[in-house]
Amino acid sequence: MHILLTYDVNTTTPEGRRRLRSVAKLCEGYGQRVQKSVFEILSDEPGLLKLLDRIMRTIDEEADSIRVYRLPPDGFTTVRTLGQARLTPHNDALIL
Amino acid sequence: MHILLTYDVNTTTPEGRRRLRSVAKLCEGYGQRVQKSVFEILSDEPGLLKLLDRIMRTIDEEADSIRVYRLPPDGFTTVRTLGQARLTPHNDALIL
């Protein structure tokens, strides 16, 4: 599956800034960071559920927001970019 | 078309913070803000090109990043959310 994961983590507290780093670190294990709080993730359903479970145990449900969009198979390569944004190569081997 | 527009605007300068507000304002005319720098946009191709043209004339190409993903037709309603994230209703009338 081609997934776009976007998040807003409330960073007004040191605890929030720690959560932000943790969420980013978790996502880095599953895909490519394409913007500060946007990841392109290649995963199967079990892998995605495992990631979401770990994120769920990391965030503050009252303060943070996670969105997980399913893209079409060409979603990463047909993205339109302006400014510094670039197409991001993915390592297909990530789909175990 | 169902579009997800995500952006990183460099806000280390007053000028950058002004660009951020401008980009958000432009996007608000085309869709729904679902996270700080993420918009769900319902648009036809001419409408999207007009928005991107206006964004292009707003951003600093050396400092800012815009990504425009095409979602499947059920992309807004099948988004998975954690924490404060919610499904966002769209006014279908936006597609002229």
- Give tens-digit pLDDT for A15-71: 999 999 999 999 999 999 999 999 999 999 999 999 999 999 999 999 999 999 999
Alpha helices by DSSP H, A1-96: 14-28, 45-56
Nearest Cβ partner for A59 among B64, B68, B82: B82
**What is the distance in angstroms between the Cα of A59 and the nearest Cα belonging to chain B?**
7
Interchain contact, B65 vs A82, CB within 8 Å: yes
Distant-in-sequence, close-in-space partners of A63: CB < 8 Å, separation ≥ 6? A9, A10, A16, B83, B84
The phi, psi pair for A75, rounded to 5°, reads: -60, -35
ipTM of the complex: 0.91
CA B76 remoteness from chain centre? 13
Residue A71 with chain B: CB contacts under 8 Å: 69-72
Structural domains of chain B, with CATH = 2-72 (3.30.70.240)
* Closest among B79, B31, B88, B77 to B55, alpha carbons compared: B31
Express each pLDDT in B7-59 by its tens digit. Answer: 999 999 999 999 999 999 999 999 999 999 999 999 999 999 999 999 999 99
State the DSSP H helix or E strand holding residue B3, giving kind and residue range, or none if neither: strand B2-8
Distance CA B81, CA B46 (A): 30
Nearest to A38 among B6, B60, B85 (CB): B6
Looking at B29-91, list the stretches that DSSP marks H as alpha helix, in order from N- to C-terminal side: 45-56
Strand ranges of the sheet holding B65-71, from the earlier edge strand across to the other edge: A80-83, B65-71, B2-8, B38-42, B31-35
pLDDT value, residue A92: 57
